[in-house]
Amino acid sequence: MNRKGLVLWLTGLSGAGKTTIAKGLEHELRERGCLVEVLDGDVIRTNLSKGLGFSKEDREINIRRIGFVANLLSRNGVVAIVAAISPYRTARKELRQTIENFIEVYVNASLQVCEERDVKGLYARARAGEIKAFTGIDDLYEEPLNPDIVCYTFEESIQQSVAKVTAKLEELDYISAYQRCEN
């Protein structure tokens, strides 16, 4: 059985909804018979990138590591869904150039919305100076200039965002509305 792998790279601020959309996509794509793996930025930092800090260099190393693993998975027929802030355009551009089937999904929510959703209290801690180099507060987040898909999570439901991504994958012929993830 020949399967078409790809990397769905969800980028956006902390609290924008990347992980929630990734889980929804994982469920939808598994229902369609796809091989799927979610690479969540928080989980990767704890395991694969333990010891890295939050300097620009360390963040780029982290993104390259995630990209390397995602690319390996996609080359083997897996839909690798990455949910990682990945704040720098240059790092995302590098991934796009080195990963054959790369789809950038910008999970767009304003800083204000993300702060309101902040269940972990990270933004409050960053504003209080307890967390340094926090993306969106005292470190830069460079919005994608030409993402393949934009999910506006402040006005779309999770189901609508998942449906939008799924429809784009159908349009690009990665998946079919009527068939499993097989070529």
| CATH no. for 6-171 | 3.40.50.300
Contact 54, 41 (CB under 8 A): no
pTM of the model: 0.92
Nearest CA among 140, 179, 178, 147 for reference residue 164: 147
Domain locations in the chain as residue ranges: 6-171
Query: What is the mean pLDDT for each group of 10 consecutive residues in the chain (183 residues)?
Result: 81 96 97 94 81 85 94 96 96 95 97 92 93 91 96 96 96 75 47
Contact 74, 101 (CB under 8 A): yes
Q: What residues are annotated to the active site? A: 86
